[in-house]
Every structure is written in structure tokens, then in C-alpha cells.
């Protein structure tokens, strides 16, 4: 067996199941699950109709690169969304089966194991796929703590030169999971300069970029930042997904876009990996990327929930509206309570499931930046989110 498998820690939701083992939730209250970022809004009919209408495509093997029509739809969406010059759908874009599998596989392509102790930099707290990808690619993860004190930002200027010299890949999550913070143009400028100096690749995870609350001010994206700074996309690849944007997590549809040289290498890898997108899913994805109206309606539902729920929780938790995404990253104010004990209390007494923040982070220099936080995914209906907030608001 690959010895690096032993380096993988239990996934956060396995740890949550272990925490709740032997505990019965309050039987008098309807269970409300706010722990996992699984969209619960209805899948738009135009997408499900396109999926059904194209089931005949199941009779054909799909190509790794996907249809030109899908890649063109993605390219046109990127131009609309980020106001950047049109990307070549033949060389700069590759459909993938959701951003998760692509983020994981990407490290296998980028990391050169022959180099001395390669490093993959990740935010902390973080999406655990980044860590697993680093380990199984033969690299060492290096975590940058994101805390309220530094604005939940990755402070790349604090990374020692010795680490940067060994860094081959940097994962950024923008908007961030779990904080919902969006990187500024200045932060991108710093990261791009370091990439130029040290030669590492930037993997920008933008799967939450379409969940925001001000239609006039969408989150700044990585390609957009590069364009505004007068750069090309050298050593920059973005990862996007329909799961959150269009409420189709089960469809497993996303894309990678950016540096043509890296996209070409990733495509070559994937011809062996064997993960081409289902033809019917390709057709439905094309429909989804070509339509923005359903996404605007989706954002309205989230905005309503956040506007209602955030002030309700503020007497119990230190919480504020995120820049984007559908998470509340809330700090526990009771000094005697840990994130685990608080989550267990919510489950046992109020039948509410949330995720302890420490499960999303690693201890670095004696600090786990997720401790004393819980993550609430406001993915359930407005009524359920308000009910859960009311229970928390009135808890003893």
C-alpha cells in the first residue's frame, strides 16, 4: 500500500460522527443539519430538462476534453462574470467532474517528487482535500493560519524564504471556506509576485464565487485579478463548479481554466486517469453555464437567510456576514465552552448539527485557528435556518 495513505487524517464528518456516537438528539425537536455544505435549494428545471433530453449520449464514450460547445459556454461565462478577454476553449479550459476531484488530482500533475522536499501551501482552516492531495503527491503541506486578527487572510509575507524555495503549489480558496472572506487585489498582487519569484503554481478554488449578497459587487476572481494587474495567466489555474452555483451537487460538474501549458499537462494526465464527463451531464452543464437568471434567484434565497439569521445569533455567538459563500463562521463566546462541547450540546439538546471549527484546521505553532469556532452551512430552507437560529438564540 502507498505509505502516504497513513498520513491522511479522518475526514471532518467522520470525526463529527465519532463525537456524536452514543448521543441521542432531542426527540421533541425536528433535526436540522447545518454541518455540511450541500446545497438544498431546488435544481433549476432548465438543467434537469437538459439532462433528461440528452440521455441518449450515454451510448457514447465521452472525450477527456469534453464537447467544444461546453467549453465555449464556460469561456463565455468567464468573460461575462469576470470581464476578462475570452479564453480559448481549446487550450485554456477543461471540464471536470466537480472541483473536488480536480483539486485532488491536480497536485499529482504539478508536484515534482524528484525535487528536495516539495511543499504545498494551504490556508488553515482549509478544505481537507488540499492536505490529502499534498500527501499523496509526495509533498509536505505547509499551513498559513487565517484568523480574525489577520482578517482571515493568508499572509504570504510571513512565509520563510526556505519554505518558498521548496513550494511548488499553493491552494487558495476564494471566497474562503469557512470564513467567506474574499481576497483583495493587493493580496493577489503579492501572491502573483511570489509565484513569479519562486515559480510555484497557484490553484484558486472558486467553487463559492457565485454565492454573494450584492449584485453590484461580485467577488474578485483570480483571472480577473491577473487581468486587472496586466498579467497573463502563467502558473495560475482556477477551479469552479456548478454544485453551489446551480444547486446540482450530484451532477458532479465543474471546470479548470487558466495557464494553457498547465491545462495541457492536466489534460494529458486525465486521459490516463479516466474521468471524462458523462455526455448527458455535459449537455446539462452547457445549459447551466449559459443561464445566469437562475443563479441570481439562488443568491436571493441565501441573502434572505443571512440577513435574517445573522443578527439572531449575535447574542450567543460572535458572528458577522461573510463577504460571500453560504457559511457562517461563528466564534463561541462562552469561555468554558469548546467548539466540540458546543456542537455536542446543540446536537443533544436542540437537534441541530453544526461542524466544530477545529475539525477544519490543523495545529500550527501551538495554535488551531478553528478552535472556539463552529461552521454553520445555511443550506437548509429559510424556515429551518430561522428555526435553528431561534433555538440557539434561546438556549440555556
- What's the pLDDT score for residue 339? 98
Query: 36 and 139 share a domain?
Result: no
Under the banding of pLDDT at 50, 70 and 90, the label for residue 314 is very high
- What's the pLDDT score for residue 209? 98
Query: 169 and 312 share a domain?
Result: no
- Report, in this order, helix, strand and coil percent for the chain, each rounded to 5: 45, 15, 40
Domain count, the chain: 2
- Short-list 330, 338, 241, 220, CA closest to 285: 241
pLDDT tens for 293-308 read: 999 999 999 999 999 9
Residue 394 above 70 pLDDT?
yes
pLDDT tens for 248-290 read: 999 999 999 999 999 999 999 999 999 999 999 999 999 999 9
Quote the pTM value: 0.97
Query: 16 and 110 share a domain?
Result: no
- What's the pLDDT score for residue 158? 92
Residue 396 above 90 pLDDT?
no
CA pair distance 147, 124, nearest whole angstrom: 9
- What's the pLDDT score for residue 98? 94
CA pair distance 306, 290, nearest whole angstrom: 27
Last residue of a domain, one of 259, 291, 323: 291
Share of the chain above pLDDT 70, in %: 100
Query: 255 and 202 share a domain?
Result: yes
Query: 240 and 305 share a domain?
Result: no
Share of the chain above pLDDT 90, in %: 99
Residue 235 above 80 pLDDT?
yes
Query: 20 and 156 share a domain?
Result: no
CATH of the domain at 144: 3.40.640.10
Q: DSSP class of residue 94?
A: E
CATH of the domain at 308: 3.90.1150.10
Query: 85 and 162 share a domain?
Result: yes
Query: 325 and 340 share a domain?
Result: yes
Q: Name the average pLDDT for the chain.
A: 97
Distances (CA, A) of 249 to 97, 203, 242, 285, 325: 10, 21, 7, 12, 15
Last residue of a domain, one of 270, 291, 312: 291
Query: 287 and 308 share a domain?
Result: no
Query: 276 and 305 share a domain?
Result: no
Query: 309 and 383 share a domain?
Result: yes
Task: Give the domain range for residue 355.
Answer: 3-42+294-393
Residue 59 above 70 pLDDT?
yes
Last residue of a domain, one of 242, 259, 291: 291
Query: 251 and 364 share a domain?
Result: no
CA pair distance 222, 173, nearest whole angstrom: 10
Amino acid at each position: 500500500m502507498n505509505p502516504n495513505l497513513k498520513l491522511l487524517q479522518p475526514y471532518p464528518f467522520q470525526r463529527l460522527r465519532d463525537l456524536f456516537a452514543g448521543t441521542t438528539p432531542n426527540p421533541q425537536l425536528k433535526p436540522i443539519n447545518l454541518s455540511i455544505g450541500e446545497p438544498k435549494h431546488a435544481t433549476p428545471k432548465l438543467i434537469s430538462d437538459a439532462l433528461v433530453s440528452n440521455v441518449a449520449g450515454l451510448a457514447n464514450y465521452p472525450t477527456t476534453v469534453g464537447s467544444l460547445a461546453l467549453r465555449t459556454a464556460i469561456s463565455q461565462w468567464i468573460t461575462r462574470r469576470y470581464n476578462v478577454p475570452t479564453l480559448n476553449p481549446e487550450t485554456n479550459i477543461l471540464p471536470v467532474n466537480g472541483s473536488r476531484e480536480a483539486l485532488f488530482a491536480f497536485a499529482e500533475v504539478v508536484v515534482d517528487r524528484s525535487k528536495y522536499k516539495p511543499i504545498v501551501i494551504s490556508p488553515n482552516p482549509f478544505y481537507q482535500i488540499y492536505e490529502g492531495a499534498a500527501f499523496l503527491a509526495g509533498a509536505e503541506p505547509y499551513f498559513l493560519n487565517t484568523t480574525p486578527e489577520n482578517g482571515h487572510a493568508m499572509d504570504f509575507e510571513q512565509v520563510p524564504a526556505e519554505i518558498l524555495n521548496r513550494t511548488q503549489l499553493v491552494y487558495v480558496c476564494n471566497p474562503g471556506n469557512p470564513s467567506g472572506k474574499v481576497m483583495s487585489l493587493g493580496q493577489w498582487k503579492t501572491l502573483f509576485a511570489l509565484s513569479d519569484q519562486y515559480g510555484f503554481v497557484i490553484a484558486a478554488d472558486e467553487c463559492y464565487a457565485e454565492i454573494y449578497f450584492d449584485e453590484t459587487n461580485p467577488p474578485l476572481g483570480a483571472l480577473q485579478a491577473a487581468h486587472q494587474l496586466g498579467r497573463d495567466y502563467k502558473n495560475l489555474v482556477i477551479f469552479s463548479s456548478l454544485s453551489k452555483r446551480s444547486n446540482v451537487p450530484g451532477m458532479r460538474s465543474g471546470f479548470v481554466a487558466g495557464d494553457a501549458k498547465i491545462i495541457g499537462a492536466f489534460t494529458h494526465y486525465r486521459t490516463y486517469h479516466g474521468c471524462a464527463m458523462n455526455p448527458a451531464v455535459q449537455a446539462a452543464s452547457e445549459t447551466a453555464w449559459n443561464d445566469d437568471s437562475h443563479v441570481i434567484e439562488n443568491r436571493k434565497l441565501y441573502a434572505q437567510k443571512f440577513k435574517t439569521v445573522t443578527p439572531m445569533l449575535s447574542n450567543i455567538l460572535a458572528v458577522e456576514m461573510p463577504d460571500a459563500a453560504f457559511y457562517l463562521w461563528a466564534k463561541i463566546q462562552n469561555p468554558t465552552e469548546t467548539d466540540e462541547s458546543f456542537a455536542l450540546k446543540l446536537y443533544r439538546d436542540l437537534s441541530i448539527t453544526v461542524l466544530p471549527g477545529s475539525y477544519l484546521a490543523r495545529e500550527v505553532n501551538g495554535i488551531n485557528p478553528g478552535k472556539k469556532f463552529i461552521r454553520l452551512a445555511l443550506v437548509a430552507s429559510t424556515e429551518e435556518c430561522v428555526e435553528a437560529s431561534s433555538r440557539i438564540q434561546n438556549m440555556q
